[in-house]
Amino acid sequence: MMDTSSGPTVFACRSEEVVEGGRGLRFPLTAGAEQRTGFVIRYRGRVYAYLNRCAHVPVELDWNEGEFFESSGHYLMCATHGAVYLPETGRCAGGPCRGGKLRPIAVIERDGAVYWEPDEYIRPVIA
């Protein structure tokens, strides 16, 4: 996603940690009033971030920590029910998530690092 605002950003990871079509990186956040995780992936040269929660059933997607892509490397997949999502939009591409979409998190990459931007629902972890 592009940096289209001047709001505060939160460090997620170093750029080199997010490999094209490889492991994603999880980061802690607050979604509503609950402690959750978000994740960053790289696909076709760009970074994308989403709330780590399947649109079908509210469970985390990764089957091992950071493993979000299915074997072809072209889709994100929920390990619990096999729902698959397009990496660049988070929209459901097949499986039980029909019409669903992952919750995007605004993310920017600059100066060798990836940052995410809080919004009205997704915020930094409350201590």
- Each residue of 5-61: pLDDT tens digit? 446 899 999 999 999 989 999 999 999 999 999 999 999 999 999 999 999 888 999
Domain boundaries, the chain: 10-123
Quick one: which of 97, 109, 105 has its CA closest to 122? 105
Given the candidates 2.102.10.10, 2.40.240.20, 3.30.70.2860, 1.20.1250.20, the CATH classification of the domain at 10-123 is 2.102.10.10
Residue 4 clears pLDDT 60, i.e. is over it: no
Cα distance between the two ends of the chain: 28
Q: Can you count the helices (H) and strands (E) in the chain? A: 0, 11
Which is more confident, 3 or 58? 58
Q: Which residue has the higher pLDDT, 35 or 2?
A: 35
pLDDT at 127: 66
The model's pLDDT over 60-115, given as tens digits with 9 standing for 90+, comes to 999 889 999 999 999 999 999 889 999 999 999 998 888 899 999 999 999 999 99
Q: What predicted TM-score, i.e. pTM, was given to this entire model?
A: 0.91
- Residues 81/56, Cβ–Cβ less than 8 Å: yes
